[in-house]
Amino acid sequence: MDVERSDHPVTHHLVHFYESDAEMVSSVSRYLAAGLDRGEPALVFATASHREMFEVAIAALRGSDDAASSIAYVDAEEALEQLFVDGRIVPERFESVVASRVRDAVGRGGVARAYGELVELLWTQGRVAAAVELEEQWDRLGAELPFKLFCAYSMPSLQQAEDLDAFNTVCHLHTGVVAPGDDDIDAGPAPCAVRAFPASRTAPRAARRFVADAAATWGVSVDGDAALIVSELATNAVVHARSPFTVTMTAEGGVVRLAVRDESADLRAGSESDLLAESGRGLGLVAALATRWGVRRLDGAKEVWAEVAS
Amino acid sequence: MSTIDRDIELDAFDASRPGHVCWVVGDGGSYASTATAMLRRGASSGGKPVAFGPASGRALELLAAEAAVTADPARDFLGGGPLEPDAMFRMFRAQTELARTEGHERLCLVADMDWLLPLEPSAEDIVAFELALDRVVAELDATVVCAYRTETFAPDDLVDVCAVHPEQLGGHEPGPFRFVADGSGWRLSGEVDNAVADVFRTALRTAAADDSCTIDVRELDFIDCAGLRQIATVGRDRSRPIVLDGASAHLRRLWELTGFAATAPGVELRAD
């Protein structure tokens, strides 16, 4: 899929929602290592502990530790303190803390590649409006300078309606969502769409519409099976887990993958056989229609996924 | 409701042809003036203007000048007793015959459904009543507007009630599905899922009260497992099957995969 927007001639502004640090480190390191292989300058805003993990992982990927000198690291927590006064971004400080560094990196040669944890830090501190404001600043910079930006967010806990709105806003502010397990971001990320839904009785219908719209946008044909699968999984989240939920849809290699993640920490619903017993024919039908399906236990949450041919 | 909204509702109302319309009257809506205009239109296109409403309210009085007949069905036809659709429909047929002997083409009825309130019907009762009425309205070629006020009916109940009217005026966007009379059978359209399973079951039960029950499903865009389960449950014990006419290949496949094909022989899926 071409994720470049017409008003973003060069920038890729990708977001990856991760479940574990290991998943995040692996995906960010691959992104940075691929840039180093091509001689692209790299700029990383990360916490000290993540920086260490990236250095180890990138050295392992490239078989050398010359990376340390090729990547400009900025401590994310310090940068945040400099950026904000009374909870608002100061434009001049965005210029000195972020923009000037991106400009330097771009000046070192061609397209730069940035990775930032600033926004995610704000997000996890509950400073959602500030996070959205910072993403918008990055977006404006992207219209001006040729660089790729990668953001990683820990998959949020969605208990409030405001959280759902903020989450969906974050998705919209990026030019693309990196699919879980996508290991070749540079080839152009696989089509992936994520949306959060409330625990309401009309949400399954909205989830069906979301899947149909995403399929239409990507030019992927899905038959009634995909609608039925997402509907049954969404209904289970609403009726059994009584939980807001996210739907992640990806399409690659003739396979459409639908994953519904709810906030149920109920471990009785943690195995496939229990889920089948609990929700009766709904999940049985998913199992019958899907070419593959399964359940992932997550921290305080679970994800039921299913694949169909497109 | 603003004047503009009211005009839009009126513009969408075609009094010159038979129909069964659910009119959702918003909070603060001026029911009486819009209903008056509807009755006037009905009268000018050959209908006999009739107004129903609760005797306790003022709206019925306000409509007396425009309507040839005003009545509180609960008091005048049901004697304050329970909601008996058959008693209502006997009266409805008699009124239609009378109107025709008077030279009118049909009845043009505007009903303030607040008349139901003293009977304390459940949402299920109302759905069953409206669905039976839908059949009678078609049979008698009448124009019937059922006005449900958002002040007195809960939002979820209004979605349910709209689902069993072929047409809708005012209110929010149409509900996900519709179940209405269609010739000698019924027609199901739109999307049926777990959220509307209860009202769907009520509609099915009403339809299945007929000895022969054929449901046109050509316009059914989506049905989930919960929806299929309602069909299986209602159809399970019938001697003559419920026929789903025009069932798509997808629907027939789901019916097999869920196992209902084996456990609910009282339902027949007929392909085109």
Q: Does A276 touch chain B (CB under 8 A)?
A: no
Query: What's the pLDDT score for residue B5?
Result: 45
- Distance of alpha carbon B257 from alpha carbon A286, whole angstroms: 10
pLDDT tier for residue A263 given thresholds of 50, 70 and 90: confident
Question: What number of residues does chain B have?
Answer: 272
- Distance of alpha carbon B45 from alpha carbon A31, whole angstroms: 72
The amino acid occupying position A33 is A
| Tokens standing for residue A80 | 């945040």
Question: What number of residues does chain A have?
Answer: 310
Buried b / exposed e across A284-301, counting CB within 10 Å, b at 16+?
Answer: bbbbbbbeebebeebeeb
Residue B53 near residue B73 (C-beta atoms within 8 A) = no
Angle between helices B225-235 and A281-289 (to 10 degrees): 120
Verify whether the Cβ–Cβ distance B224 to A288 is below 8 Å.
no
Residues of chain B contacting A, Cβ within 8 Å: 176, 191, 193-195, 222, 224-226, 229, 250, 254, 257-259
DSSP summary character for residue A66: T
Q: For A53-64, what is each residue's pLDDT tens digit?
A: 999 999 888 887
Residue B240 near residue B262 (C-beta atoms within 8 A) = no
Q: What percent of chain B has pLDDT over 90?
A: 65
Query: What's the pLDDT score for residue A67?
Result: 60
Q: Where are the alpha helices (DSSP H) in chain A?
A: 21-37, 48-62, 67-70, 76-83, 91-94, 100-107, 118-124, 128-144, 161-173, 203-218, 224-239, 272-279, 281-289
Q: Which residues of B touch A280 (CB under 8 A)?
A: 225
Check whether domain A194-309 has CATH 3.40.50.300, yes or no: no
- Distance of alpha carbon A156 from alpha carbon A119, whole angstroms: 13
ipTM of the complex: 0.86
The amino acid occupying position B110 is V
Q: Does A212 touch chain B (CB under 8 A)?
A: no
Query: What's the pLDDT score for residue B3?
Result: 38
In this structure, the number of other CB atoms found within 10 A of the CB of residue B7 comes to 12
- Assigned architecture for domain A13-181: 3-Layer(aba) Sandwich (3.40)
As a whole number, the mean pLDDT across chain B is 89
Distance (Å) from the alpha carbon of B98 to chain A's nearest alpha carbon: 46
- Looking from the CA of B209 toward its CB, the CA atoms found within 13 Å total 11
The chain A residue lying nearest B196, using CA atoms, is A201
SS3 for A225-264 is HHHHHHHHHHHHHHHCCCCCEEEEEEEECCEEEEEEEECC
Q: Where in chain A is the domain with CATH 3.30.565.10?
A: 194-309
The chain A residue lying nearest B225, using CA atoms, is A282
Burial class (CB in 10 A: 0-12, 13-18, 19+), A268: exposed
As a whole number, the mean pLDDT across chain A is 84
Of the candidates B78, B110, B80, the one whose C-alpha atom is nearest the C-alpha of residue B91 is B78
Q: For A73-108, what is each residue's pLDDT tens digit?
A: 999 999 999 999 888 888 899 999 999 999 998 888
Verify whether the Cβ–Cβ distance A205 to B195 is below 8 Å.
yes
Question: Is pLDDT larger for residue A70 or for residue A74?
Answer: A74
Q: For A211-223, what is each residue's pLDDT tens digit?
A: 999 999 999 988 8
The chain B residue lying nearest A224, using CA atoms, is B250
Positions in chain B whose pLDDT score sits under 70:
1-9, 29, 171-172
N-term to C-term CA, chain B: 46
- Distance of alpha carbon B135 from alpha carbon B20, whole angstroms: 10
* pLDDT over threshold 90, residue A3: no
Query: What's the pLDDT score for residue B1?
Result: 38
- Distance of alpha carbon B176 from alpha carbon B173, whole angstroms: 9
Residue A175 near residue A13 (C-beta atoms within 8 A) = yes
